[in-house]
Amino acid sequence: MGFAVVALRPPLNAFLCSSNDNSNRDGGTEHQSQEVRFALPGYKWRMIIAYDGTKFSGWQYQQSSPTVQCLVERALTQITMLERKELGLVGASRTDTGVHAWGQVAHFVTPFNYNSLESIHAALNGLLPFDIRVREISPALPDFHARFSAKSKVYHYKIYNDTIMDPLQRFYAYHSTYRLNTIVMREAARHFIGKHDFSAFSNASHNDRLPDPVKCIFRFDVVEKGALLQLEVEGSGFLYRQVRNMVALLLQIGKEAVPPDIVQKILLTRDRKELAKYALSAPPQGLCLISVKYNEEVLQPPLGCPSTSFGQNQCVSKCKLPFY
């Protein structure tokens, strides 16, 4: 396959980008008008990826079971002829087994530049299984990091609230036959908004090294679409299974098993065992990573690189994840 590679090794002045004197809390950079040249070991590329997580053991690379990262890396190594360690593929969110994504963001690096990204974009989707699609691929500034530059992440959790489950929703929504009270669910969801210690809503994870339990929730909406309830939450970041644990408690509140103000009481305990008295984690199939948001400064394209590929002439540019 021909991918219009410009150079096997980049020149020292590979990128022309904004100076980076100060980094903000989310890993992005403050915009400055002065331009300086950076000597880099390679070129950085950003992807937006959608996947149906039903058959996968989450995003994160594992040797023993199929993951989304594993398959994306396999496709990239075939196309670029680079080893996975050279590619340095990193995802914004380590979605769990069975969790879906419409807007997962990832970055990787190559020691060469491209004239156009359309061919590599088409090749990636040609090698990937049909339940994984690269929606966009674009050049990225050297300071961009898919995970640490993120300003916020948006997740949706779908609940099908009817006696009989819609069979077309079974892989994308949790089925609740109990008629949920959305009024008290909305009241309870408001207690999550703001800056809190979410230790009580996090499962232990060996992947995290002393994670900061303090996160900021910007919004938490309960949207009704007929029998379908869509819980939409946006936050600065989330602990392991935090969203599914918050949803699980809202389900109990919606069933009127516990009052809405139980949210505040459990938050203050900072104890996961306290939440376990009232609710277990909601199942993964209802959860979807909708988008990852960044400051505009870190999304600016470097000079001398090709334009973003949106997959023209590819089905992915017109498709939407089912029911999202």
pLDDT digits (tens, 9 = 90+) for 199-232: 999 997 655 555 789 999 999 999 999 999 999 9
DSSP code for 51: E
Write the burial class of residue 73 (CB in 10 Å: 0-12 exposed, 13-18 middle, 19+ buried).
buried
Strand pairing of 287-294 and 100-110?
parallel
**232 and 152 in contact (C-beta within 8 Å)?**
no
Predicted pLDDT at 64: 81
CATH topology identical between 13-149+295-317 and 151-289: yes
Write the burial class of residue 228 (CB in 10 Å: 0-12 exposed, 13-18 middle, 19+ buried).
middle
Q: What type of residue is 34?
A: Q
Say if residue 33's pLDDT is above 80: no
Q: What is the pTM of this model?
A: 0.84
Q: What type of residue is 206?
A: H
Nearest to 125 by CA among 75, 179, 77, 193: 75
Nearest to 76 by CA among 108, 46, 51, 112: 108
What are the structure tokens assigned to 142, written together?
Answer: 């050297």
Q: What is the rounded CA–CA span in Å between residue 2 and residue 143? A: 29
Q: What is the rounded CA–CA span in Å between residue 308 and residue 302? A: 11
Predicted pLDDT at 240: 93
Q: What is the rounded CA–CA span in Å between residue 201 and residue 241? A: 8
CATH of 151-289, one of 3.30.390.50, 3.40.50.300, 3.30.70.660, 3.30.70.870: 3.30.70.660
- Percentage of residues of the chain with pLDDT beyond 90: 77
Say if residue 38's pLDDT is above 80: no
Residue tagged active-site, from 96, 131, 143, 261? 96
Measured from the Cβ of residue 129, the count of other Cβ atoms closer than 10 Å reads 14
Say if residue 22's pLDDT is above 90: no
Q: Region 75-86: what's the mean pLDDT?
A: 95
Nearest to 129 by CA among 75, 65, 48, 60: 75
Q: What is the rounded CA–CA span in Å between residue 287 and residue 295? A: 25
pLDDT digits (tens, 9 = 90+) for 227-277: 999 999 999 999 999 999 999 999 999 999 999 999 999 999 999 999 999
**110 and 43 in contact (C-beta within 8 Å)?**
yes
Predicted pLDDT at 190: 98
- Look up 96 and say whether it is catalytic: yes
**320 and 38 in contact (C-beta within 8 Å)?**
no
Bridge partners of 51, per DSSP, are 101, 132
Q: Region 150-176: what's the mean pLDDT?
A: 97
User: pLDDT grade, residue 141 (50/70/90)?
Assistant: very high
Q: Give the residue extent of every domain in the chain.
A: 13-149+295-317, 151-289
Q: Yes or no: is domain 13-149+295-317 CATH 3.30.70.580?
A: yes
